[in-house]
């Protein structure tokens, strides 16, 4: 699912309205995220952006900055680390994630309202939620049959 114009427009608007500065590195990172259109790890993103010399710290800070303005979503892996994905401003997605290669498929389902309502009933505020499905994808699955 490639990004449509509306999506791009909102991303750029959000950045404009923020106090973030668009450096070359950030442009490359943003471009890669846009082109990729799926979650990646910080270090994979550095490579994909063609910035192998750039310190990972910079990538992390960029992702943190983007997350701060609501255009990046963090997806935890089962074992360790996480993936980062460009999202509609302050929206989010859920995924099927391959344990082996970290390939993801978007999950077209979100229980936000349901969970939010239940959480509030229990006295929770500032509610967010996590829902990810892990498995071994077709390409990683050993042919043992």
**In angstroms, rounded to a whole number, what is the distance separating the alpha carbons of residues 107 and 49?**
26
Helices (H), 37-111: 42-48, 56-68
Of 79, 73, 131, 86, which is closest to residue 102 (Cα–Cα)? Answer: 79
Q: Which parts of 64-103 interact with DNA (CB under 7 A)? A: 64-65, 80-82
- When asked if residue 135 is in the footprint of a second copy (CB under 8 A), the reply is yes
- When asked if residue 81 is in the footprint of a second copy (CB under 8 A), the reply is no
Helices 24-36 and 5-17, packing angle to 10 deg: 150
- When asked if residue 48 is in the footprint of a second copy (CB under 8 A), the reply is no
Stretch near a second copy under the rule CB under 8 A, chosen from 3-11, 26-34, 38-46, 116-124: 116-124
Contacts with DNA by CB under 7 A lie at 19-26, 41-43, 53-58, 60-62, 64-65, 80-82
């Amino acid at each position: 699912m490639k990004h449509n114009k509306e999506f791009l427009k909102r991303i750029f608007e959000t950045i404009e309205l923020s106090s973030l500065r668009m450096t070359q590195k950030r442009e490359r990172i943003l471009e890669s995220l846009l082109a990729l259109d799926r979650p990646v790890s910080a270090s994979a993103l550095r490579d994909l952006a063609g910035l192998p010399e750039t310190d990972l710290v910079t990538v992390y800070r960029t992702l943190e900055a983007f997350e701060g303005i609501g255009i990046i979503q963090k997806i935890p892996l089962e074992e360790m680390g996480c993936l980062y994905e460009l999202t509609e401003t302050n929206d989010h997605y859920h995924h099927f994630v391959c344990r082996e290669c970290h390939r993801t498929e978007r999950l077209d389902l979100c229980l936000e309202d349901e969970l939010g309502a239940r959480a509030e009933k229990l006295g929770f505020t500032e509610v967010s939620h996590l829902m990810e499905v892990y498995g071994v994808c077709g390409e990683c699955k050993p042919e043992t049959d």
